[in-house]
Amino acid sequence: MNTNTTPASPPAPIKWGKWLFGLFLTYVSLSLIVGLYFSHLLLYPKLPHCTKKSYYYCKTPKEQKLPFASVSFTSSDKVKLRGWWIPAPKDKPSKRVVIVVHGRGGDKRVGMRYAKAIHNAGFHLFAFDLRNSGESEKAYNSMGYHEQKDVIAAVTYAIKVKKMQNIGVFAFSMGASTTILAMSKDLRIQAAILNASFASARQAISERAQALYGYASYPFLPVSFWLYGIRGQLKLSHTNAEDVVGTLKRPLLFIHGLEDKVVLPHHSKHLFKLAKEPKQLWLLPKGKHVNAWQVDRKQAEARVVQFFKTFLGTSQPTTRKTP
């Protein structure tokens, strides 16, 4: 009997090269898809839904019986911007103005909570919409990279058209970080209140993405930031307020709610440490994102008014020019 058997064929070798290449293509494709989606969210934030819980005042300044005029002006890169000019009381002639700068996905109504108090204290108030917000021209959000041009344009309008001499800024969230960037280039801004500013745009975005989507910094965020920079014609590394706040040497008041989940409180604490005197820091134990007024209206209005009275009320008219 023949006992010879045909030996079994060896198993086919695993084609690791093709498998790894396929895995690589999947990773690249997924990274690009996620990156395009997330960069789109950064470029085009949702329009704000005004409620009493957020802005409180959702109409024009007439809602508070304040006089105002609708105005328009243009940034250095030809973006048409619009806002409200609320003049100081007629019985309190003034050359002092507080410019209100809103945050990402906001509009000029964000500062209307404080408008009455600032107006009654004898200041002009200039609330305007940043690019791609409110009534201003459509563009895209750049976390302050391009928006700082809007702040500088508002300062120029206040000085050249309205003949203001003392310029202060009251800014919120991304608007606060943008104001720090603008102040590093525009010496005409004499003092600023910075409500919930972020120190690093990249870090603030990463923290928010993690909180909302469980979106870890790697592997997808670097691709998202890269695409965001290309699509938005910006350098995110140039939007870090922490890099320039120490050069300002002008009065700054930092405000932050300790329960803020949008921009974490450590950002304002870090900026405060880096800033030069005179500087102030007000932390609200029960405060959430830019809601100091809702938490303690009396103290919020008093602090804001006193700050501008102190640093704009007795200061000499600015003769410093934008570099």
**Nearest 5°: CA angle at 264, between 260 and 265?**
85
Q: What's this model's pTM, rounded to 2 decimal places? A: 0.88
H-run or E-run covering 257 = strand 252-257
Encoded amino acid at 252, one letter? L
Which residue is it, tokens 């997924």? 30
Q: Residue 195: beta bridge partners?
A: 172, 255
CB atoms under 10 Å from CB of 68, counted, come to 19
What's the confidence (pLDDT) of residue 225?
Answer: 87
Q: How far apart are CA 266 and CA 246, in angstroms?
A: 17
CA–CA separation, 91 and 52 (whole Å): 31
The second-level CATH assignment, the architecture, of 57-218+239-312 is 3-Layer(aba) Sandwich (3.40)
Phi, psi of 98 (to 5 degrees): -110, 120
Per-residue pLDDT of the chain (323 residues; tens, 9 = 90+): 555 556 656 665 556 666 666 665 666 666 677 777 777 888 888 877 787 777 789 999 999 999 999 999 999 999 999 999 999 998 888 999 999 999 998 999 999 999 999 999 999 999 999 999 989 999 889 999 999 999 999 999 999 999 999 999 999 999 999 999 999 999 999 999 999 999 999 999 989 888 877 766 667 788 888 888 888 899 999 999 999 999 999 999 999 999 999 999 999 999 999 999 999 999 999 999 999 999 999 999 999 999 999 999 754 445 555 54
Which residues contact residue 24 at a Cβ distance below 8 angstroms, ignoring those fewer than 6 apart? none
Name the residue among 216, 280, 293 with its Cα closest to residue 254. 280
What are the structural domain ranges in the chain?
A: 57-218+239-312
| Contacts by 269-274, CB closer than 8 A, 24 or more apart | 270/199, 270/242, 271/180, 271/194, 271/197, 271/199, 271/241, 271/242, 271/245, 274/242, 274/245, 274/246
Alpha-carbon dihedral sign for residues 84, 113, 265, 230: negative
DSSP assignment, residue 253? E
